[in-house]
């Protein structure tokens, strides 16, 4: 059985004329992030377009990205896990429960 993790981005760092892949697909990863896990990428391993790499690096500069494990699709021979990658500020707005501190 094969496991595929597909990372989708909540933020469009692709320029309008870009027509390449807009997600990252990893086959049989040793780790699948859970919702709330910080994630990052060596982006040049997945995209070759210099403008896309630069735009991602600009977003990455001093910021964190967080995962939301959205869905798992099962078929006879493979499992595909879809993970949405959020900028820190957006993730904190959408999932404040991951950042609430217990004051007691």
As a whole number, the mean pLDDT across the chain is 94
> pTM of the entire structure?
0.90
Tokens of 43: 């982006």
pLDDT tens profile 14-38: 999 999 999 999 999 999 999 999 9
pLDDT at residue 102 greater than cutoff 70: no
């Amino acid at each position: 059985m094969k496991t595929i993790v597909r990372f989708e981005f909540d933020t469009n760092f692709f320029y309008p004329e870009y027509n390449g892949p807009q997600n990252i697909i990893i086959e049989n990863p040793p780790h699948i992030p859970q919702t709330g896990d910080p994630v990052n990428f060596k982006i040049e391993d997945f995209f070759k377009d210099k403008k896309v790499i630069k735009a991602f690096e600009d977003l990455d500069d001093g910021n964190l990205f967080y995962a939301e494990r959205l869905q798992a699709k099962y078929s006879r021979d493979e499992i595909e896990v879809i993970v949405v990658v959020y900028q820190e500020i957006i993730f904190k707005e959408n999932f404040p429960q991951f950042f609430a501190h217990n004051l007691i």
